[in-house]
Amino acid sequence: ETGVTQTPRHLVMGMTNKKSLKCEQHLGHNAMYWYKQSAKKPLELMFVYSLEERVENNSVPSRFSPECPNSSHLFLHLHTLQPEDSALYLCASSQDAQGSYNSPLHFGNGTRLTVT
């Protein structure tokens, strides 16, 4: 559909679990992103990768750990999460290696994460 595929679509985990979110883009883009979307709040940029290198990290707690093994795949490793981390986690990609400057973001449909 969108060219960006996220799995799983839904995830329920306890605070002591370790899980990973996966994102794959089929668009040949050079930049990939993780955003967090919570109710009543703007989208929060978490991480940006450009050509597989992390270029931005917006003061995200260390319980979130990103990994970008190649330009098509992006992971978000989760461990020891808190209930307030429950949210929709969105992955996006863009053509421009310098970020979304002059190029639109293509989003996946997100992973709905619930931390119990």
Partner 1 sequence: SQQGEEDPQALSIQEGENATMNCSYKTSINNLQWYRQNSGRGLVHLILIRSNEREKHSGRLRVTLDTSKKSSSLLITASRAADTASYFCATDAAAGTALIFGKGTTLSVSS
Q: Which residues bind partner 1 (CB under 8 A)?
A: 2, 4, 6, 33, 35, 40-43, 45, 48, 56, 90, 92, 98-102, 104-110, 112
d(CA 89, CA 56): 17
Residue 80 CB, nearest distance to partner 1 (Å)?
27
Which one, 79 or 112, has the nearer CB to partner 1? 112
Min separation Cβ 92 and partner 1, Å? 8
Task: Report the nearest approach of partner 1 to the CB of residue 64 (Å).
Answer: 16
List of long-range contacts for 57-66, beta carbons under 8 Å, 24+ apart: 66/34
SS3 content of the chain, % helix, strand, coil (to 5): 5, 55, 40
